[in-house]
């Protein structure tokens, strides 16, 4: 967990699996978004140029599905990691270090809104994962499932119309498009702004690529986790004595 360097103490926030998964998700998401929107807004000249660049509509459709499968595989990887974390590492999925939502996050959210509106001087004492990090994670995690569901409806309409009425394919198309708009605008603008444009992290928070945080960042951004970590260490220190 801790790695002593000459200048400062480094804390490992993300292991190599999560960093690679984030990188793959990032590129696959951009790919799936570009190809998807070039098909959805195909009457726009820019979309037609992009499709031409990729070698025609058939390869765009192939690329869209390829990226989508990669994205879903990343979700599967995360599920497997969750099982590994729970049953092999004996981690607590409902504990303070978990990415899962807790009741406490509601309080954090309310306090954070209060801070934004000037009711308190500073942000609440966040634990390992803040509410917006959990939201980013779970919206993608759950969103990939609903996108995959509507996506396979559009991929294999002949198969699914055996079990469902035909207009379900139309509904799938509507939901697939709307959720794509939501996801792409959220990730491309809001997620990027929160991770790059906020004065706290400007010009960029590289922790998801490097996995490391300094002691200062830890104390500033995750005081709850910092306190917990120190309490544990002191606890173990006293026990050792």
Partner 1 sequence: MARLRLFLRRLNTAERTRLLRSSRGLIIAAWLILPIHVQAAWSGDPTPSSSWFVDMNRFLKSAHGSLTCERCHVEMTARDKVHPNREDPTAMKKVVVRSYDYKRCASCHPEAYKRFLQGEHAKELAKEKQAPPPEGKEPPPEKLAPTCGDCHSSHYAQSKRSRVELGTQMIETCGKCHKAQEASYLKDIHGRMGVFLEKKASAYCTDCHGAHTCESLKDKNKALEACRRCHKDATIQFAGILIHAGQQDISKKDPEKQAHAAIIGTIKGFAQTGTIILLLFFALQTFIWILRELHRRLRGR
- Least spacing, CB of residue 207 vs partner 1, in Å: 17
Our finding on whether 200 is near partner 1 (CB under 8 A) is yes
Q: Binding mask 47-66 vs partner 1 (x if CB under 8 A, - otherwise)?
A: xx--x----xxx-x------
Our finding on whether 117 is near partner 1 (CB under 8 A) is yes
Our finding on whether 221 is near partner 1 (CB under 8 A) is no
Which of 49/92 has CB closer to partner 1?
Answer: 49
CA distance 3 to 135: 29
Our finding on whether 164 is near partner 1 (CB under 8 A) is yes
Which residue ranges make up the site for partner 1 (CB under 8 A)? 39-40, 42-43, 47-48, 51, 56-58, 60, 113, 115-118, 121-122, 154, 157-159, 161-162, 164-167, 169-171, 173-175, 178-179, 181-182, 185-186, 189-190, 193-194, 197-200
């Amino acid at each position: 967990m801790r790695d002593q360097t000459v200048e400062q103490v480094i804390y490992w926030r993300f292991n190599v699996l999560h960093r690679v998964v984030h990188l793959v998700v990032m590129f696959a998401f951009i790919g799936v978004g570009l190809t998807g929107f070039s098909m959805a807004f195909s009457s726009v000249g820019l979309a037609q140029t992009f499709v031409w660049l990729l070698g025609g509509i058939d390869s765009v459709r192939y690329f869209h599905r390829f990226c989508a499968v990669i994205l879903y595989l990343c979700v599967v990887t995360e599920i497997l990691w969750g099982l590994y974390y729970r049953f092999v590492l004996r981690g607590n999925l409902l504990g303070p270090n978990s990415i899962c939502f807790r009741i406490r996050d509601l309080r954090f959210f309310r306090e954070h809104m209060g801070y934004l509106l000037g009711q308190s001087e500073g942000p609440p004492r966040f634990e390992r994962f803040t509410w917006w990090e959990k939201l980013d994670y779970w919206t993608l995690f759950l969103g990939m499932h609903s996108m995959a569901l509507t996506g396979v409806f559009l991929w294999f309409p002949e198969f699914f119309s055996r079990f469902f009425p035909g207009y379900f394919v139309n509904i799938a198309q509507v939901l697939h498009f709307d959720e794509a708009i939501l996801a792409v605008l959220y990730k491309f603008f809001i997620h990027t702004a929160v991770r790059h444009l906020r004065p706290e992290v400007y010009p960029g928070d590289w922790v998801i690529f490097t996995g490391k945080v300094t002691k200062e960042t830890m104390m500033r951004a995750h005081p709850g986790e910092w306190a917990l970590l120190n309490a544990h260490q002191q606890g173990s220190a006293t026990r050792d004595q």
